[in-house]
Structure 1
Amino acid sequence: MIPEKVVQMFERFEKANPDPRSELQFKSPYELLVAVILSAQATDISVNKATEKLYPVANTPEAIVQLGTEGLMPYVKTINLYPTKSRNIVRMSEILLEKHHGKVPDNREDLEALPGVGRKTANVVLNTAFHQNVMAVDTHIFRVSNRTGLAPGKNVLEVEKRLVEVIPPKFMMNAHHWLLLHGRYVCKAKAFQCSGCLISDLCEYPDKIPNAG
């Protein structure tokens, strides 16, 4: 996609949603980190329902460690892979206390060293909690980037690198949220809604629904 079209795309996203936010509910970097770990292969809605009950009881590394894996699991048992995620969250919390004074680190190396934290999770935390211009690529963003021609790639890392290259810096802070929300609600995997898409005329997908506007 040529640079002029990329600029138009993000200008439209910005006009339609000037202050995009994560749909995960959180009040601290630690709450966000726990929520993002839980969100792998799960919906934000299901995670919010779980953390709505968990966070009033335990929303700090100290409180989670005190709960322990067995104590945490009942709160997150509706989440896919909850036994593994519970173990990771408790161990992650222990490491935060042991190595980081109970604080969530604001750099990729230390984040990715935590149990349950991969590159995508680290990028979400760096962007959303610490306001760094990084790009987290999930399935929605991977799909939108390839389908529209914005940043085609064979894997998430390739797409991430291309997005960082092609998106103008002034849009990078919010680009993750705009693309994710667009993929979640408009440019869906199957029932994609070209007729209601605000970037349909810019999109380079060859199989758009006829009469898209």
Structure 2
Amino acid sequence: MPMTTPAPTGAATGTGAPFRCFGGSDPLYAAYHDDEWGVPVHDEHALYERISLEAFQSGLAWITILRKRPAFREAFAGFDPHVVAGYGEDAVARLLADAGIVRNRAKVDATIANARALLALHESGRTLDEVLWSHAPDPRPRPRTFAEVPARTAQSAALAKELKGLGFRFVGPTTAYAAMQACGVVDDHLADCLVAQRASSGGGAVVTTPAE
């Protein structure tokens, strides 16, 4: 889940509104919760973007990244790895001067390095989609509370190890698990959440994970 998840909102908190795991107090955050978090992603550009943004989020509130996402997309050429892989010191200087994004040298460098690692992966005949989804866990019952949702799992540790071996940076087990959630490799929406209810009624697949 976003590493700084707000309190659940909705019926379970007595407000009478549909219950959301998080984000109901902010329209942007609610839209992310309803339409993106836990939804399967397979497009290579989209996967690269999500991994990049999860790295930038480390240590920050996820809503901060959501609000800055348009600026991130502009700064990183829509997260086109072919473009970002060619960024040199002039581009790095531009990015570090861009107040619209998170100006962290290690994270900027990692985003560029990860674009290059992604292209190298493609040259080897593999895809990020294959790597990421090869670490999907078996379906399990949905969590009832966020206390049951892990910050990292054996699968995320294995994914982080493989990504690092492929040249990716800023992908430790915790960031890898957040990326798995963001890309729908795991779906940790709580059992009473409106998204989980929608899925159980046929509006989407249920792919959930246990705490470890």
> Could you state the TM-score of these two structures normalised by the residue count of structure 2?
0.46
1 or 2 for the larger relative contact order (CA 8 Å, sep ≥6)? 2
> Could you state the TM-score of these two structures normalised by the residue count of structure 1?
0.46
The structure carrying a bigger helix percent of its residues is 1
Larger Rg: 1
